[in-house]
Structure 1
Amino acid sequence: MNCFVTYEIITDDVKSVLLKENIMKIAMRIPRNKLLGLVVVLLAAMQLSAQQTAPENSKKEVDVQRHTVMEQFASEDLFTLEERKQKRLAHLAEIEKLKKALDTMDISRRKKRKILADLINKPYSDRVNQAMAEINFEEGDEIIKD
């Protein structure tokens, strides 16, 4: 019985040595660049498989939290579609009014372009407010004269 056990151990050792030799022969046949690439791909695959994914329960909690944050705002802070359309139309009317008034004013084209660009991009800038004040002042003078 003892000789069988040693024989199995010896054959296992021989098998592992032969396996290592075969692997080395195969590895020596593969060009070095390809072997390095294969090793890098295998290491990257092991790293990717080792990463844990986030549990799905946390995603559901985030959705609930976003919903509760939105409820904190008062209803008067949120405009309806109709109110937003009205505000947009009022803004466009203000732009048209300022365009017409700027055409009658004696200022350079460059300044007119800057004021119009500010009105569209930054409707509450100092340049727009100053132009609106001048326009309202001129309109006020015309009303008083009439």
Structure 2
Amino acid sequence: MGETETDAGVRAACERGRALRSSVPRAAHGAWEVEEGRPGPLELLDEQAQQRLAYLVPERYLRMSASPFAFFRGGALAMAADLARTPATGIRVQVCGDAHLANFGGFASPERHLVFDINDFDETAPGPWEWDVKRLAASIEICGRNRGF
């Protein structure tokens, strides 16, 4: 029995994946160091505040001060600035842009099946798929520590 077009496509996709893993190994995603001269999170928040309604900025900061996880949730720009300097495979997707635990939930499908998916798309943009995975993983760590797990 010969190889089907589907088999050939799967094989080609696997080969492309292996090539990407060679150029950007998994271990490259596990290391991060503070870049010298990078703007700090508070500087980025102050810069971002210039584009927001001034009377709402204090409320935003108050909400972010509630916990480390609340700060993380409100500070997507700071993480994006850091992630922009990390390795990426070059595979771009429409990222959530703010993938964290609180932006996921359970929903009923039309067939009445439970579906777990993202529920917040207000920060969506084209970007490296790795960003959403790293932000979601960081949120699990921060939330777990914040709750004493």
State the structure with more CA Rg.
1
What TM-score, normalized to structure 1? 0.24
Larger helix share, 1 or 2: 1
Structure showing greater relative contact order (alpha-carbon pairs closer than 8 Å, 6 or more residues apart): 2
Larger strand share, 1 or 2: 2
What TM-score, normalized to structure 2? 0.24
